[in-house]
Amino acid sequence: MHMEFASFPYLSSILAACLLGFGAILLIPARHTMLIRYVSAVFSGITLIITLYLFCAYDKRVGGLQFVEKVPWIPPLGIQYFNGADGFSLPNLLLTGLVFFTGVLTMWRMETRVKEFFALYFVLVTGVFGLFMSMDLFFLFVWYDVSLIPMYLLIAVWGTTRKEYAAMKLTLFLLAGSALILPATIYLFVQSGLNTFDIVALMQPGTFGESQQKFAFIFLYLGFGILAGVWPFHTWSPIGHVAAPHAVSMVHAGVLMKIGAFGILRVAIFLCPQGWQHWSQLMALLAAIGIIYGALVGLRQTDLKYVIGYSSVSHMGIVGLGLSTLTVDGLNGAVFQMFAHGVMTALLFSSVGYIYDQTHTKSVAELGGLSRTMPVASSYFIVAALAGMGVPGLANFWAELLVFIAAFKVYPLRGVLAIAALVVSALFMLRVVQRTFYGPEKEKYARLSDVPFGLGIPRMILAVVLLLFGLFPSLMVDMIETASIPFFNGLPR
Amino acid sequence: MIVPFGHVIVLAGALFLLGITCAVCRRNLIMVVLGVEIMLNAASIIFLAGALRWFSMEGQVFVVMVLAIAATEVAIGLALIVYAYRRTGSVDPINFNCLNEQPTGSQLAGFIRE
Amino acid sequence: MTLHGLIFYLLASVILASTGMAITRRNLVHAVLYLVFSFIGSALLFCLFGAPFLALLQVIIYAGAIMVVFLFIVMMVKPDLSEGTVLPLRQLLPMVLFGFMYAVVGVLVAVTDPAGRAVLETAVAKPTEFGHYVFARHYLAVEIISLILLIGLMGALHLGREKVPKEPEEPS
Amino acid sequence: MASCWIENSTLLTAIVGTWAPFVTFVLIMLFTRHRPKTSAGLSLASATVSLASALVLLGGHWNLQRPLEYTGRWLVSGDIYIPFGYLLDPVSLLMLTVVAIIGFLVQFYSLGYMAGDPGFSRYFALMSLFLWSMMCLTISPTLFQLYIFWELVGLSSYFLIGFWYEKFSAGQAGKKAFVMTRLGDVAMFLGVLLILLHLGNLNILEIDSPKIVGLMPPEMLTLAALLIFGGIIGKSAQFPLLTWLPDAMQGPSPVSALLHSSTMVAAGVYLFERLFPFFLFSSTATTVGLAIGTISMLLASTMAMVSRDIKQIWAYSTISQLGFMLMGLDAGGLFAGAFHLTTHAAFKALLFLCAGVFIHQYGTNDIYDLAAKGTRRMRVPMLCTIIGAGALAGLPPLSGFFSKEVILAKLAGLPNPIWLVAALLGVFLTAYYAFRPIFIMLFPPSLPAANASNAAPEGTRHRLLYRIMVGPLVILAGATVALGFLQTPLRNFLAGQYTGLTTAGGAHLGWLPYVTSLLATGGVALTWWEFGRPGARQTGFVDGIPVIARFFAERWYLDRLYRAILDHAVDRGISAVLAQNDTRVIDGSIDGISRGTVLAGRLAALINAGMIQYRLLMIFAATVLLSLYFFF
């Protein structure tokens, strides 16, 4: 029984902040809604600050796992409370912090069951944070399920369109995913013979034979892939996006889908690299189909949130394509895309949230001419839409660029198809922008007010982040490289 | 020198079969309990024959217990029947299925069409 | 065939016949009376198998007490005697199917089991010996049985209370 | 770069000149949205800085021997290295100067044109954004950087076309422009990736060097060249992606002058100049380019012959002239293309700005309406229009004549005479359509009441705005006249580019200038006969055949075709099918699975019907089966 702390337990303090916030919200009587909001904002702000600090404090020259915390929990089963951050998880932690904080601010004006909402929201985010920092397979799985359950309640209680159906569908899909992951996890645990769930120990080359890796990989890929919106298991996500309240949509599209991709990376690819090589053709195929498919279906949608939902399917396809290329660039691009897409969709949903609160509709056909009434809200949406189209100067461009280069090298045909989808994605994003914000001002929306400064803060943060990483992509890519290059060098050739 | 042990087994088995037929087929709760009694009786017979076959008293001890169990079972079972009869006025077991949410045929058809 | 054998087959046919009659009677009183015959027959069989004490118990408890309780209940609930078919087909058919399988298995086991070929010898367990045996070796079981009887008593008392729940009648 | 960029005066100038507009953009968007005057001041100041730095760079490197290149690390990922930097050589310096000059003039002009518009600040912010991205595009040392800014100019074009977003058609036009150029950009991106795959980096100087022939198999090189040419087609509105440009005229006139005639659409031609040796390595690519340039030139000319919208006429002429430049370049004349680009930038900006003055004054785009309202009384803009149209038509003393001449000489040097014939036909048509609006406006059938008040703008403020607008016109008109005589110095200046390259010199045919000027004059004369002479019916010969006129006016039905493809094949075809697939097949099957699960549960529940006897029977059956299992 020995514990290992590299330094102050920053990672645990993130979780602690979430749980303290949760506890504090539970203790406040439900009628003090304003107090609850402030408490939520403060605690989520703390997590954002810590993640930001970690992102900056990570020593890129040393690389590897840093801020390690290791406490044995159930020694007979080799289960440890083992947290660590590396170049793959830090962008995602930062993303979670950003989306968490901005999500709280986005829901500032929500009035129904405020206390319960924020309490569940904190539980949800705790699970997400835990998953991104956990280096123990068992804990990873537990965090995965912790983040799924509140989702059901959040959608079913606070949602809008067909919420019960969407909530049930989402939960069933994700539980199906976890039903695939759990056996694979146990299989790996048993087959390794090391009696440990420690990912670092399990990922040593030679732990698993090739056939074992192939077997386990496909389970893990499909299980996490459902969460990552891999075609054809994506249909839960647009419906879920539409039904969920705005902040939950933000977390849902911004972070939760990343959990899937991150799980593929952290568990499936780390533990079964040979399985990865074996199945990469399939991954690339599904990803390429998803990219085109999502864009084309998005073209037909008439609900703002559905449009974003399908664009998410398309963009997550890019992540999948990057992961499938078996190259450093592909991994860099994929992780960068996770981050960029998370920020981008959060911004989109946040803007749509404001628009919906004002106009009480999400139908593209009913909206129109909003640029005149609410120029600031519109411009945030437009910035995010541009990022979604892969316009240079915003973070998504670089991620897509890296992925496309890598894909084009490895899978020329699928790469070309995926790149061609850029046209379609531009078409449908611009179509939405055109119909919603341009055109003559509509009478019924003439008296709506624009975003006040305070409510604009979350969107401003997200837009600035997009622009920052768009202008200085190496801030992010250098970080990811500290993890991706050693990972590749460690692979058996 | 009575009979081969196998013949007793056949007898007890036949009795048991009759008992279970009674318990399963008769649409009357009292007859169901009656069937159970018959089955217990069959068990007693085979116990006793076994005791004789292996010259061991254990079988006989078991028969005592079977008797006791049968008595208890009858007491509670019949009390239950009386209770049920008071509530519903019937002793037909088909009427005691209100825990089962049995869909009707039309509900099922509607579900399939959905 | 010895005399004992003859007695056995006689008793067996009486038991089976009266039980068969009992389970097919529409009138419950008749059924119970036939069953009394069956139980008395098995009490005699117990005697034949050398357990006079148990035969007595059988007569007193089974044929005497339990069957009388049945009769009481039959009188109390005044069951509807026109219950339709005595043995409805939808229950009887699967029963016959499995019963047949059961019979086949049973006969095969009885025939093939070498233990079944051993012929039973006559012997008697005197009540005194039996009592000694029970209380020396199985006192715990006796206690447990008494507890069970107690519980049965309490259960029957509880169920038999006059208080009828006030909820609306279940649809029947 | 970081080591000594501040000490290197050239680099410092370049950085300051290119990034000043970006700083302006950010400042305006963040702080001065509600202070239009400050915004305009900032924007104009940054344009001045850019202009000064461009001129300094051009002057300082007039005798440049070899290209100056400065790069710094922007992004490194795996084996992808993306630098950011500056490449200064004659081609880029010339383009930089053109961009800076026209950008400055147009911004100055916009002070008058856009005065009082609610989106004044936004306008200048977007103009600065455009200027920044265009200048960075111009001096890109790598294809990556070029591609990035290529996209960004497309973005600013999108915003500026849809500047008056409340007009639904403006937004539509912006979308159309963006998507159509995106189509070309995707092709270009693929071409860039193809080069990257073989070369390992995207340094323009390396792509242009002969060693690429050794690194890329010939068919790959052709493919890459064709794909990149696809980007040029999109950006320069060549056939078959030419229909977005006329629609782009929905934007404000200065925007049309700056983006959609002189600089942004010329970026395609510029890219060709940039990769000139690379394209010459593949004869297939140059032939295809020649064909596309020719087709676009003729097609756009026919469209311009029947249009009634003054801005659209100039837009079609832009397409046609860009096609002409591409012809010259594909024929192997770097100077030919670059020179025509420069002169074209001047006279086309002039034409658009003049059109802007008319539109601003009379509020209509229709040439017949303009004529009826009395444009001929606005003397200076009318004169400038005539000068610009003369240059466009290639009338002798004006710059257009000289630059066309160079291209024609190159085309004459080609073995196949068909290109030259097509080009000469183009010259004739150009002269015809260029002077058609002129004569219509000069000689309206009936003038409104003489001395109508709108002849001369009234009020001091109005007069001030008018003067602000007229100022750049005069400068551009001067440039249009003068540029033709700068042919030799420019040729010497550009001779420093691609020194290793030997191209077939254009044949010096003594008769060519005469034929050209004759054709141009003939075109003008025909126009005069149809529109200008007293008593003319003012209908062109094309209008006489309604079928053809309609065909031209409908843009050869290209737009209809694209619309139909988009609507029927994509929107109602593939997308609808896929959306149906999503809801019916995928969702349906999953809903079916869940329903099946519930149904199975119900069916299983049927066995446990709740009747005690069935349970008993089940127990008995299970026991029997178990005994069967155990004993046998």
Tell me the per-residue pLDDT of B60-91, one tens digit each, with 9 for 90 and over. 999 999 999 999 999 898 888 888 888 777 77
The percent of residues in chain D predicted with pLDDT above 90, rounded, is: 5
Checking if the pLDDT of B1 tops 70, the result is no
Q: Report d(CA A492, CA A205) in Å as an integer.
A: 7
C77 interaction partners in chain B (CB closer than 8 Å): 30, 81-82, 85, 91
pLDDT at position D420? 86
* D→B interface, C-beta within 8 Å: 595, 598-599, 602, 605-606, 608-613, 616-617, 620
CA angle A65, A69, A75 (to 5 degrees): 115
Touch between chain B and chain D: 3 or more Cβ pairs under 8 Å: yes
Identify the weakest region by mean pLDDT among A35-39, C148-152, D396-400: D396-400
Q: Do D566 and D547 share a structural domain?
A: no
Task: Count CB-CB contacts under 10 A for residue A156.
Answer: 18
What integer is the mean pLDDT of C122-148? Answer: 89
Contact between A121 and A154 under an 8 Å Cβ cutoff? The reply is yes
* pLDDT tens profile B10-27: 999 999 999 999 988 888
- Residue D3 inside a domain? The answer is no
- What are D210's two structure tokens? 């002969």
Burial of D190 (0-12, 13-18, 19+ CB in 10 A): buried
In which element (H, E) is residue C89 found?
A: helix C89-112
Closest C-alpha among C63, C32, C71, C70 to residue C45: C63
User: B114: pLDDT confidence band, cut at 50, 70 and 90?
Assistant: very low
Closest C-alpha among A91, A94, A115, A96 to residue A37: A115
Stronger pLDDT, D418 or C78, i.e. the higher one: D418
Mean pLDDT score across all residues of chain D = 83
Residue in D closest to C93 by C-alpha: D617
Size of interface B-D (CB pairs under 8 A): 44
D620 interaction partners in chain C (CB closer than 8 Å): 95, 98, 102
What integer is the mean pLDDT of D582-602? Answer: 83
Best of D25, D31, D77, D241 to disrupt the A interface by mutation (most A CBs within 10 Å)? D77
Structural domain boundaries enclosing D398: 9-498+506-553
Closest C-alpha among A416, A431, A433 to residue A292: A416
Please list, residue by residue across B58-94, b when 16 or more beta carbons sit within 10 angstroms of its beta carbon and e when fewer do: ebbbbbbbbbbbbbbbbbbbbbbbbbbbebbebbbbe
Q: Which residues of chain A have pLDDT under 50?
A: 1
Q: Report d(CA A409, CA A418) in Å as an integer.
A: 13
pLDDT at position C14? 94
pLDDT at position A390? 86
Q: What is the separation of C-alpha D226 from the centre of its chain, rounded to a whole number of angstroms? A: 18
pLDDT at position C81? 59
Task: Count CB-CB contacts under 10 A for residue A206.
Answer: 6
Closest C-alpha among A297, A308, A238, A317 to residue A424: A297
* pLDDT tens profile D614-631: 788 888 888 888 988 887
Contact between D379 and D472 under an 8 Å Cβ cutoff? The reply is no
Best of D617, D624, D628, D630 to disrupt the C interface by mutation (most C CBs within 10 Å)? D624
pLDDT at position C79? 62
- The domain B5-113 is placed in CATH, from the list 1.10.260.40, 3.30.70.3000, 1.10.3720.10, 1.10.287.3510, at 1.10.287.3510
CA distance D609 to chain B (A): 7
User: C167: pLDDT confidence band, cut at 50, 70 and 90?
Assistant: low
* pLDDT tens profile D509-551: 677 888 888 888 888 888 888 887 777 777 777 777 788 878 8
Token look-up 């019963």 returns C99
Dihedral of alpha carbons D398, D403, D406, D407, sign: negative
Task: Count CB-CB contacts under 10 A for residue D467.
Answer: 12
Checking if the pLDDT of C169 tops 60, the result is no
Dihedral of alpha carbons A152, A153, A156, A159, sign: negative
Fold for domain C3-125? Four Helix Bundle (Hemerythrin (Met), subunit A) (1.20.120)
Contact between D516 and D408 under an 8 Å Cβ cutoff? The reply is yes
pLDDT at position D458? 55
User: D452: pLDDT confidence band, cut at 50, 70 and 90?
Assistant: very low
pLDDT at position D554? 79
Stronger pLDDT, B96 or A341, i.e. the higher one: A341
Bond prior to A245 in cis (omega within 30° of 0):
no
Q: Which are the contacts of A29, defined by CB distance < 8 A and separation ≥ 6?
A: none
- H, E, C per residue of B39-96: HHHHHHHHHHHHHHHHCCCHHHHHHHHHHHHHHHHHHHHHHHHHHHHHHHCCCCHHHC
Closest Cβ opposite residue B71 in set C66, C110, C129: C66
Q: Report d(CA D84, CA D571) in Å as an integer.
A: 39
Checking if the pLDDT of D131 tops 60, the result is yes
* D→C interface, C-beta within 8 Å: 613-614, 617, 620-621, 624, 627-628, 631
Closest Cβ opposite residue C105 in set D617, D621, D628: D628
Q: Which are the contacts of C54, defined by CB distance < 8 A and separation ≥ 6?
A: B44, B48, B60, B63, B64, B67, C46, C130
The secondary structure of residue D63, as a DSSP letter, is: T
Token look-up 């790149």 returns A419
Contact D628 C101 (CB under 8 A): yes
Checking if the pLDDT of D256 tops 90, the result is no
What integer is the mean pLDDT of D69-80? Answer: 81
Q: Report d(CA D326, CA A153) in Å as an integer.
A: 62
Bond prior to D240 in cis (omega within 30° of 0):
yes
* pLDDT tens profile A82-94: 888 888 999 999 9
* pLDDT tens profile D173-185: 888 888 888 889 9
C58 has a chain B CB within 8 A of its CB: yes
What integer is the mean pLDDT of C35-61? Answer: 91
Please count the structural domains in chain D: 2
Closest Cβ opposite residue D183 in set A173, A423, A434: A423
Domain ranges for chain B? 5-113
Domain ranges for chain A? 4-489
User: D503: pLDDT confidence band, cut at 50, 70 and 90?
Assistant: low
Phi and psi of A46, rounded to 5°?
-60, -45
Task: For residue D144, give the amino acid letter.
Answer: F
Q: Strand ranges (DSSP E) for D1-94?
A: 68-77, 80-88
- H, E, C per residue of chain A: CCCEECCCCHHHHHHHHHHHHHHHHHHCCCCCHHHHHHHHHHHHHHHHHHHHHHHHHCCCCCCCCEEEEEEEEEHHHCEEEEEEECCCHHHHHHHHHHHHHHHHHHHHHCCCCHHHHHHHHHHHHHHHHHHHHECEHHHHHHHHHHHHHHHHHHHHHHCCCCHHHHHHHHHHHHHHHHHHHHHHHHHHHHHHCCCCCEHHHHCCCCCCCHHHHHHHHHHHHHHHHHHCCCCCCCCHHHHHHHHCCHHHHHHHHHHHHHHHHHHHHHHHHHHCHHHHHHHHHHHHHHHHHHHHHHHHHHCCCCEHHHHHHHHHHHHHHHHHHHHHCCCHHHHHHHHHHHHHHHHHHHHHHHHHHHHHHHHCCCECCCCCCHHHHCHHHHHHHHHHHHHHHCCCCCHHHHHHHHHHHHHHHHCHHHHHHHHHHHHHHHHHHHHHHHHHHCCCCCHHHCCCCCCCHHHHHHHHHHHHHHHHHHHCCHHHHHHHHHHHHHHHHCCCC
Residue in B closest to D617 by C-alpha: B24
The secondary structure of residue D142, as a DSSP letter, is: B
Burial of A73 (0-12, 13-18, 19+ CB in 10 A): middle
Contact between A92 and A339 under an 8 Å Cβ cutoff? The reply is yes
